[in-house]
Amino acid sequence: MSSSRLQVKHIKIPPKFRGVQTYLESDIAVLHLTTPFVYDAFVRPVCLDFDLGSDRRQLASGNLATISAWGLSAENIKSSQVQIIKCRMWTSPRATMRSLPLHAVHNLGQNMRWIP
């Protein structure tokens, strides 16, 4: 696998972002790079859909969700390799992002963990 390292000139963080205090709402930042990059087999755009109807359909109970993460593993080992797992979505009539802490999902996979 190929990799490259680019310098970041500026990071624009959304003004409403408050980390875990707001359950990671508005958690997408914009990176301004010092040099342009070229799309290839390893550098691809990420497609984001902010259609609420689409969100409701995708997040419906019973659907499969893909979770990806990197950083510290369950053994406190730093990893730059992305870990990917699939899990079923579940809903509760009383659960919302504000009432259900994200760290309630603590067993993400063999080598993944949530750090609140």
- Identify the structural domains of the chain with CATH numbers, from first to last: 1-48 (2.40.10.10), 61-116 (no CATH)
- Bridge partners of 84? 68
**Beta partners for residue 66, in sequence order:** 86
Which range of 14-23, 36-45, 49-58, 70-79 scores highest in mean pLDDT? It is 14-23
**At 9, is the pLDDT very low, low, confident or very high (cuts 50, 70, 90)?**
very high
Dist. CA 27–CA 67, nearest whole Å: 16
User: Do 30 and 6 meet the contact criterion of CB atoms below 8 Å apart?
Assistant: no
d(CA 113, CA 80): 15
Q: At 27, list the tokens.
A: 């958690």
pLDDT at 96: 52
Question: Which pLDDT score is estimated for 27?
Answer: 78
Give the residue from 59, 78, 75 showing the smallest Cα distance to 67. Answer: 59
How far from each other are the two terminal CA atoms of the chain, in whole angstroms? 31
